[in-house]
Amino acid sequence: MKSLLLSIVGCSALALAQNATPAKVDPADAKNHIGETAVVCGKVVDVKVSKYGIAGHGKPVQFDVDQPDPNPVFYFVAFGSQEGGPDEVVAAYNGKRVCVTGKINQISTGPFIMAADRAQVKVDAATK
């Protein structure tokens, strides 16, 4: 009975941890949270559309948050709709305050979240 109770408690803790809301992280602090799932909020200040597309997604668009090139502190990558292409996603987020949820990764250009699912990006209602 005791081991059954411990198993139930252990499984409950895991289930609750999976449903926990990710921590909010400041864009400048994202570099300290590599590998973690978090919510990063800030203003989109620069946009770069890739020359090349990715099969099934189209052209990726990089959105710098709070600090533009040449010294971005954080960015996220999203894709436009099939109908609107990259222009659609640029219009949706450029110049707006957004919150992006996902795993923070890092490459030589800095910390970022790959937001392949647009549900990962929420526009602040005050900047719509």
76-99 pLDDT, tens per residue?
999 988 778 899 999 999 999 999
pLDDT at 85 (0 to 100): 86
* pLDDT for 100 beyond 90: yes
* CATH topology classification for 22-127: OB fold (Dihydrolipoamide Acetyltransferase, E2P) (2.40.50)
Spatial separation of the C-alpha atoms in residues 13 and 7, rounded to whole Å: 10
Least confident of 28-32, 69-73, 90-94, 122-126: 122-126
Write out pLDDT tens, residues 25-54: 999 999 999 999 999 999 999 999 999 888
- Residues 95 and 123: beta-carbon distance below 8 Å: no
pLDDT at 127 (0 to 100): 58
Spatial separation of the C-alpha atoms in residues 91 and 93, rounded to whole Å: 6
HEC per residue, the chain: CHHHHHHHHHHHHHHHHHHCCCEEECHHHHHHHCCCEEEEEEEEEEEEECCCCECCCECEEEEEECCCCCCCCCEEEEECECCCHHHHHHHHHCCCEEEEEEECEEECCEEEEECCCHHHEEECHHHC
For residues 55-82, give the mean pLDDT.
92
pLDDT at 115 (0 to 100): 97
For residues 61-80, give the mean pLDDT.
95
| pTM, two decimal places | 0.81
Of 46, 91, 95, 35, which Cα lies nearest the Cα of 71? 46
User: Which is higher by pLDDT, 57 or 29?
Assistant: 29
Q: Round the average pLDDT of the chain to a whole number and report it.
A: 86
